[in-house]
């Protein structure tokens, strides 16, 4: 049994296979996930698990060079936006429309669906390198 890091087998597998510039998304329970993109559904009930707790867990193992967010998050979900910013130092932030973000999900290795039920609690993480 794995004793540290991500215990969810599907998430751990995707993260371990990611290369430089690969994309993975974490979203609220309402984010529409394209049929061709791997869906890792960990939503249990309203707010469980939360978007932020899921993000923090993924960041234990994933090196990130860029964060992609919907422009709408800053105005419509400032609490989650502030928590996201706290998780990253020296990482590029890119803002696109929510509609553009949904289109980018087609390029992601996977989308992790959480139990989050607040607006625009969605993020795309671009994998960096550790050297």
Annotated catalytic residues are 20
The DSSP bridge partners found for residue 36 are: none
Q: Is 41 flagged in the annotation as binding?
A: no
Structure tokens at 72: 């709408």
Q: What angle do CA 27, 56, 83 make, to 5 degrees?
A: 75
CA–CA gap between residue 39 and residue 120 (Å, rounded): 18
Q: Is 70 flagged in the annotation as binding?
A: no
Q: Is 77 flagged in the annotation as binding?
A: no
The DSSP bridge partners found for residue 26 are: 112, 123
Q: Is 57 flagged in the annotation as binding?
A: no
Q: What angle do CA 50, 52, 56 make, to 5 degrees?
A: 120
Q: Is 28 flagged in the annotation as binding?
A: yes
Residue ranges for the known binding site for substrate are 28, 98, 120-122
Residue ranges for the known binding site are 28, 98, 120-122
């Amino acid at each position: 049994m794995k004793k540290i890091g991500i215990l969810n087998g599907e998430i751990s597998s995707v993260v371990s296979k990611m290369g430089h510039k690969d994309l993975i998304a974490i979203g609220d329970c309402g984010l529409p996930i394209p049929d061709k993109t791997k869906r890792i559904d960990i939503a249990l009930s309203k707010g469980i698990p939360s978007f932020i707790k899921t993000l923090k867990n993924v960041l234990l193992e994933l090196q990130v060079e860029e964060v992609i967010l919907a422009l709408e998050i800053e105005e419509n979900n400032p609490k989650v936006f502030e928590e996201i910013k706290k998780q990253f130092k020296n990482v590029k932030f890119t803002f696109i429309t929510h509609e553009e973000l949904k289109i980018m999900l087609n390029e992601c290795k996977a989308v992790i669906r959480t139990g989050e039920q607040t607006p625009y609690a969605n993020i795309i993480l671009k994998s960096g390198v550790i050297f």
